[in-house]
Amino acid sequence: MKNASPQPMINKPQLRKIFSGVLLMLCLGNSLGRAEEQHPHHPIPLDQYIALLEDPKRDEWQKPDAVIQALHLKEGQVVADIGAGSGYFTLRLARMVGQKGQVFAVDVDEGMLSYLRERLAKEKIQNVQVMQVPAHDPLLIDSSLDLAFICDTYHHIEDREVYLRKLHKALKPNGRLVIVDFYKKDGIPVGPPLSMRLSEETVKQELQTAGMNITEKLTFLPYQYILIAQPTTGGPGASPVTQP
């Protein structure tokens, strides 16, 4: 006689359903970070992800207008918003560089980008080119950018050394790379979980290895560092001139 194996109380499809429910509840706990932990590119249904990114409460700590002002962009400049998402910063960047300027809004997620396209059409903003890109390459033209802006996205990038070298090439000789991301320390109520964050020191080191010189560090955001870097004249591997 065969041994009858005990039947599980919950079968696999039921388990999956329960897991998805718990996942959704975690994401809806108004924590974008929790959501990012569960799935890096599409953590929760798109409309909920967009609502989190565009939540007016985010403005209190993200201070988007102050961030954009601090970049001292000029009319006519060319900017890339890497990991543009719903366009929270893209629209502000587009207004700063004006009709003669250009913003490349790049993202891996077509859902985000189609939302952004509609938003740009509604707001009649014509100086933004929306680009869906692969995760390893922003597909930007060499020496084309005055500024590459990466907010809350750098920690998503996998091979950052290769990626930074591509961004280095895409910058004009005096171009700037701006990275805004969360401090890797306890007690920050928003942002990704500690395990996904990159310390400021790590990012500085990575920039330096990619041939970038950190020219400015802004500290007015409560939960995030803002690092501004420029290509060193010697190219990748050259030693930095200054290191704030």
Interface contacts to ligand SAM, rule CB under 6 A: 41, 53, 82-85, 88-89, 106-109, 112, 133, 135, 151-153, 156-157
CB 120 within 8 A of CB 84: no
Residue 70 beta carbon to ligand SAM: minimum distance, rounded to whole angstroms: 15
Q: CB nearer to ligand SAM: give 53 or 232.
A: 53
Quote the CA–CA distance of 220 and 101 in Å, as a whole number. 27
CA 132 to each of CA 43, 112, 222: distance values in angstroms, whole numbers, following the listed order: 18, 10, 31
- The token pair at 174 is 């005096």
Amino acid at 223: Y
- Residue (55 or 238) nearer to ligand SAM, CB: 55
**Pair 163, 133: CB distance under 8 Å:** no
3-class DSSP state of 221: coil
| CB-nearer residue toward ligand SAM: 90 or 232 | 90
Strand partners, 104: 80, 129
Please check whether residue 74 is in contact with residue 100, taking contact to mean a CB–CB distance below 8 angstroms: no
Distance of closest approach, residue 5 Cβ to ligand SAM, in angstroms: 43
Q: How near is the Cβ of 36 to ligand SAM at its closest, in Å? A: 6
Residue with Cβ nearer ligand SAM (81 or 200): 81
Closest to ligand SAM by CB, 88 or 200: 88
The smaller minimum CB distance to ligand SAM, of residues 107 and 146, is found at 107
Pairing of strands 224-231, 171-182: antiparallel
| Among candidate residues 154, 193, 199, the one with its CA nearest the CA of residue 31 | 193
**Eight-state DSSP code of residue 194:** G
Q: How far is the CB of 37 from ligand SAM (least distance, A)?
A: 12
Nearest distance in Å: CB 31, ligand SAM = 12
Output the smallest distance, CB 214 to ligand SAM, in A: 20
